[in-house]
Amino acid sequence: MKNRAIFLDRDDTLIEDPGYINHPSQVKLLPHVCEALIDLRQMGYKLVIVTNQSAVARGIVTEDGLEEIHQRLIGLLRHEGASIDRIYYCPYHPNGIIPEYRKDSDLRKPNPGMLLSAAQEMEIDLEASWMLGNSYRDIAAGMRAGCKTILITSAEKPAQRTATDPIPFKKAVNIREAVNIVKTYDQHSRFVETASEQEIQLPEPEAEPIAVSAGPDMEQNRFQRNHERRRGLGLMIPDTPIISRESQPFETAAFVEEESNQQEPSETVQGDRIEQLLEEMVRHLKGMHRESMFHEFSILKALAGVVQVIVIFCLVWSLWFLLDPQARISSVHTLIGYAAVLQLMVIAFYMMRDRK
């Protein structure tokens, strides 16, 4: 049996991307990466990094330097209990300044070369695998290799799609949500497979020979036993009085045929309802997840805070005037009046924000 794998882009998927990384000290893991990799490992996936590294062709870093960077990444993951099975990188670029690396390559994403090489060397089933990345190059490489794809696009660095870019299978705001998508898909697939196996392996009731000399009582008992056997197997059978085949041959045959016809639509409807319920739960959890991660910035709330500070300043200033024997009482009244008006403005701003 072949392995399943999660192919992962490196920069802005696992680690921060300040530009072209050329020193191990620049390697910084993104939030929740270690937890995500541990979850994927427990789900039975191989973890493979596939990354374009044109910095080698551009002369920014050597392959030895790139190896040190990747060792630093492996060490940070290992410190948190996570691990990677293998790292594939493409050092080539057609516009590179190093002649050795100045060329195009099938390994460079959006080409699927790195994924295909990993599949051959690690015995990976590409159809059962996923490609996770933050650019449409990653999505194109995954689709060309035959994988399911997830585009990780955040509000800070949204992926820009052109007309020729493929549409990803799913989208996620970070790697944690991507793991939840994979987990939900696997659970749904196992549920469908289990339901199919149970339907296929469902034993049929053994047919009992009908004696030619059987009378009405014997025939009715035989039909009742079959009816109870079906009910014991969990089949959907309406509570209908047992009818003797000899007394009502045509009605009984029609009743048995109607039972068999009603069974399959009932199971199909139940399967559709369960599938719809799972999808609705995923959408609900995803909405809760997104709401917990992002909060809408309110200009009215910020403005109300500024005005509230001015109100406090006016009240303090009026208290200072009261303590000064040479100050005019009219100045105190003026400051208190300003404070009251501004406080009403603060209340109005908060009411407008809540209404919005």
pLDDT at 261: 46
* Mean predicted confidence (pLDDT) in 151-168: 89
Residue 334: strand, helix, or coil: helix
* Terminal CA-CA length for the chain: 56
* DSSP secondary structure letter of residue 23: S
Contact 214, 74 (CB under 8 A): no
Residue 83: strand, helix, or coil: coil
pLDDT at 241: 40
Which conformational region is residue 105 in: left (phi greater than 0), alpha (psi within -120 to 50 degrees), or beta? beta
Nearest to 48 by CA among 149, 122, 110: 122
- Burial class from Cβ neighbours inside 10 Å (0-12, 13-18, 19+) for residue 155 reads exposed
Most confident of 144-158, 209-223, 260-274: 144-158
Nearest to 238 by CA among 263, 201, 220, 265: 263
Q: Is 11 a catalytic residue?
A: yes
Q: Where does the pLDDT of residue 239 fall: very low under 50, low under 70, confident under 90, or very high at 90 and above?
A: very low
Q: Where does the pLDDT of residue 247 fall: very low under 50, low under 70, confident under 90, or very high at 90 and above?
A: very low
pLDDT at 307: 79
Q: CA 130 to CA 143: how far, in whole Å?
A: 9
Most confident of 107-121, 180-194, 232-246: 107-121
pLDDT at 20 over 60: yes
pLDDT at 104 over 90: yes
pLDDT at 232: 44
Alpha-carbon 190 to chain mean position: 17
- State the catalytic residue, choosing from 11, 12, 39, 138: 11
- State the catalytic residue, choosing from 9, 12, 39, 138: 9
Q: CA 34 to CA 24: how far, in whole Å?
A: 18
Q: Which residue has the tokens 């650019």?
A: 135
The encoded tokens of residue 88 equal 């594939």
| Phi and psi torsions of 87, nearest 5° | -120, 125
| Phi and psi torsions of 147, nearest 5° | -90, 160
pLDDT tens string 289-332: 554 444 444 676 777 778 788 888 877 877 777 776 666 667 76
* DSSP secondary structure letter of residue 26: G
pLDDT at 34: 97
pLDDT at 189: 85
pLDDT at 351 over 50: yes
